[in-house]
A = this chain, B = another copy of it.
Amino acid sequence: MSALYYGVAYYDEYMPEDRLAKDIALMQETGINVVRIAESTWSTLEPQEGEYNFYHIDRVLDAMHTAGIAVIIGTPTYAVPAWLVAKHPDILVTTVDGQQKYGPRQIMDIVNPTFRRYAEKIIRTLMAHVQHHPAIIGWQLDNETKHYDNIGRYMQEGFVHSLQEQYSDLAQLNKDFGLDYWSNRIDSWQDFPPVENTINASLACAFSRYQRQQVTEYLAWQAEIVREYALPHQFVTHNFDFEWRGYSYGVQPRVDHFAAAQALDVAGVDIYHPSQKHLTGREIAFGGAITRSLKLGQNYFVLETQAQGFAQWTPFPGQLRLQAFSHVASGAAMVSYWHWHSIHNSFETYWKGLLSHDFSRNATWQEATTIGADFARLSPQLAELKAENDVALLVSNEAMDALNQFRPGDAQGNIYNDIFRRFHDALYDHNISVDIIHDINEETSRYRTLVIPGLYAADDGLLERINHYIEQGGRALIGFKSGFSDENVKVRSSTQPGILHRACGVSYSQFTLPEETTVASCNAAIDCSKDNQAELWMELLMPDSGTRTLLRYQHPAWGEYAAATDADYGQGRAIYVGFLPQKTLISQLFDALTSDLDLHSRTSAYRYPLVTKKMRNRDGRGIHFLFNYSGEPLDFISETSGKALLSGDEVSCGQPLRLKAWEFSIIES
């Protein structure tokens, strides 16, 4: 990874005509130096059971190698061929909606032994065929693997077996999960009912965690097979993705990225996001922060991101460049488009690649060539950038599951991610760079501040470690509902917010929904004159003696209660907030918590849409990115001295700068 990778997904299989030579010539013109192939093409590779056809793979490998373009090969397992389903219909996954029907990808039962047997055979056959080809730099396991909401026989049986291993005694399980309620008690393992329709959130969340563990296990199983063939210099990666709301919205509920990434050499990811006037860079930032954290700050691959994408994403002039360098600014070592050309048939016809269906040199492609040139030219400065953040955001799949089981009021969908995004985006807009972590351990001490939104379910250990972190001098901004229930989603019967009560110095016994309720400030540094709505949830907070009230509710019945508090604990400090604040208020609470600290993560006094990122390159130089995430020109004063890498100009601190619509600058200091 001495140079930035600039890539595309490429499918010779899908071409309406033989384009290979023309495409490679055009890729070279674009600056493409890596392609990703083969994943999802099982039916082409093995058109009938045991009959193999490597025509497309062989010719692409050879041609790319000749052209000096590196290749990543994906195992083809995430879409099953018709003959396999015809022969073994049981390999299709069963969800609460019944068994899935043939047609889409990602509908197999990944814990089905028959599926595993066939998947292993095609992986081994493919690996054996191509393993020594010099074009190959790495391997991608499957693609966007998830558990596909599997409630099938193998998943259910495995889950019950895992509980049996955990609980010798059903009485303890009944107690931990509260199964006596509504006659859900289980007194014999033989009676264990299907989990799919349970009304017990403890059981549902345990099952959800088990489902994610099977994704981890499946990828580790593929990694082990692939590594039998892979050469030492080749990496093993996977293409993770995020909660999808028409784009990459939040933390992935169906995969534990942190656990699953253990099997990989390099973390890979796809990031898709709104574009045109809705382009903000927020998804690039949070997706990058999570993926960068999976392998402890190592650079990661953006294995897929949008070129033209959906019709509503066709990029405005400048946006494709802005996006590419935003990925780099988050620590990406590769920016690879989905995909080279636009598909002429089937599902993703309107998910357009760099080229349109006509393969012409369209405007988006033209902009891509400038990125390719700049990646090549600036790789000495921009490859292997490292973040040096001292602020971290704590996320948790377990808290997500539990909170989503108990959504406040009539909230719909993945409300955990709505909360996560609110906190993340507030920091992003405030130019606070964060890492994203999923646990507190000895590594955490390098962070000077933690932001903890919606940590609804957590075991005592994690909460104690948070308290300990604060006691040792850490700062924490802790959101409502945190600490409320244990790892089994049993609500704590202690004073709330459970164990966190000690560090936060605040408690509550009642809560309600805010109906047009606002908050007022009790602290001169916090301005609540606007953006002061309490949203989603409202804990009636009672500060301990010594705890400072930062905000109060403005309400005829609840005006006596605190809405946010600030307490010292040991060497540290914790702000607890009992409702969902708007972004500007979150950033004010963050400042109230950290104003006396000199944070590396605080990259600028400027605010969104002027977004800045500070990274360190392998020469130890500071790399300052300045992005204009707006359609209007921005004028501002430079906070840095150094060399503007794109123009080659020297910039001095205090100098007026201008960025045109969607323009950016990179200053090496």
Which residues does chain B contribute within 8 Å of A100, judged by CB atoms?
A: 197
Q: Are B103 and A199 in contact (CB under 8 A)?
A: yes
Q: Are B556 and A184 in contact (CB under 8 A)?
A: no
Which residues does chain B contribute within 8 Å of A489, judged by CB atoms?
A: 345
Contact among B14, B184, B314, B509 for A512, CB-based, below 8 A? B314
Contact among B85, B317, B408, B509 for A356, CB-based, below 8 A? B509
Contact among B47, B48, B492, B537 for A357, CB-based, below 8 A? B492
Nearest B-chain residue to A96, judged by Cβ: B101
Contact among B82, B178, B312, B349 for A192, CB-based, below 8 A? B82
A513 at the interface (CB under 8 A from B): yes
> How many subunits of this chain does the assembly comprise?
3
Which residues does chain B contribute within 8 Å of A185, judged by CB atoms?
A: 43-44, 47, 81-82
CA distance A511 to B312 in the complex (A): 9
CA distance A327 to B344 in the complex (A): 44
Q: Are B496 and A358 in contact (CB under 8 A)?
A: yes
Which residues does chain B contribute within 8 Å of A197, judged by CB atoms?
A: 100-104
Q: Are A409 and B312 in contact (CB under 8 A)?
A: yes
Q: Are B200 and A86 in contact (CB under 8 A)?
A: no
A235 at the interface (CB under 8 A from B): no
A548 at the interface (CB under 8 A from B): no
Nearest B-chain residue to A198, judged by Cβ: B103
A343 at the interface (CB under 8 A from B): yes
Q: Are B14 and A513 in contact (CB under 8 A)?
A: no
Q: Are A277 and B194 in contact (CB under 8 A)?
A: no
CA distance A318 to B381 in the complex (A): 68
Q: Are B344 and A490 in contact (CB under 8 A)?
A: yes
A441 at the interface (CB under 8 A from B): no
Q: Are B344 and A14 in contact (CB under 8 A)?
A: no
Contact among B103, B183, B190, B342 for A43, CB-based, below 8 A? B183
Q: Are B182 and A342 in contact (CB under 8 A)?
A: no
Interface-facing stretch out of A222-230, A297-305, A359-367, A592-600: A359-367
Q: Are B183 and A41 in contact (CB under 8 A)?
A: yes
Nearest B-chain residue to A16, judged by Cβ: B493
CA distance A250 to B76 in the complex (A): 43
Q: Are A183 and B44 in contact (CB under 8 A)?
A: yes
A569 at the interface (CB under 8 A from B): no
Q: Are B345 and A177 in contact (CB under 8 A)?
A: yes
Q: Are A515 and B201 in contact (CB under 8 A)?
A: no
Q: Are A105 and B349 in contact (CB under 8 A)?
A: no
Contact among B177, B180, B312 for A44, CB-based, below 8 A? B180
Known: A197-B104, A344-B178, A345-B178. A358 touches B509 (CB 8 A): yes
Which residues does chain B contribute within 8 Å of A347, judged by CB atoms?
A: 181-182, 199-201
A545 at the interface (CB under 8 A from B): no
Contact among B48, B342, B513 for A187, CB-based, below 8 A? B48
Q: Are A362 and B43 in contact (CB under 8 A)?
A: no
Which chain A residues in 584-607 approach chain B with CB under 8 Å? none
Q: Are B105 and A363 in contact (CB under 8 A)?
A: no
A636 at the interface (CB under 8 A from B): no
CB distance from A347 to the nearest CB of B (A): 4
CB distance from A543 to the nearest CB of B (A): 16
CA distance A191 to B43 in the complex (A): 12
CA distance A202 to B197 in the complex (A): 34
CB distance from A77 to the nearest CB of B (A): 9
Which residues does chain B contribute within 8 Å of A44, judged by CB atoms?
A: 180, 183, 185
Contact among B81, B105, B201, B346 for A346, CB-based, below 8 A? B201
Q: Are B358 and A495 in contact (CB under 8 A)?
A: yes
A13 at the interface (CB under 8 A from B): yes
Nearest B-chain residue to A488, judged by Cβ: B345
Known: A86-B190, A511-B311. A345 touches B182 (CB 8 A): no
CA distance A316 to B557 in the complex (A): 6
Known: A82-B186, A311-B512, A556-B631. A13 touches B180 (CB 8 A): yes
A23 at the interface (CB under 8 A from B): no
A274-316: CB near B (< 8 Å → 1, else 0) gives 0011000000000000000000000000000000100110101
Closest 10 CB pairs of A and B: A178-B345, A79-B183, A43-B185, A101-B197, A103-B197, A47-B187, A314-B512, A43-B183, A316-B557, A199-B347
- New contact pairs (9) apart from A102-B197, A105-B182, A357-B491, CB-CB < 8 Å: A11-B180, A11-B181, A43-B184, A80-B183, A177-B345, A178-B346, A200-B345, A276-B557, A308-B510
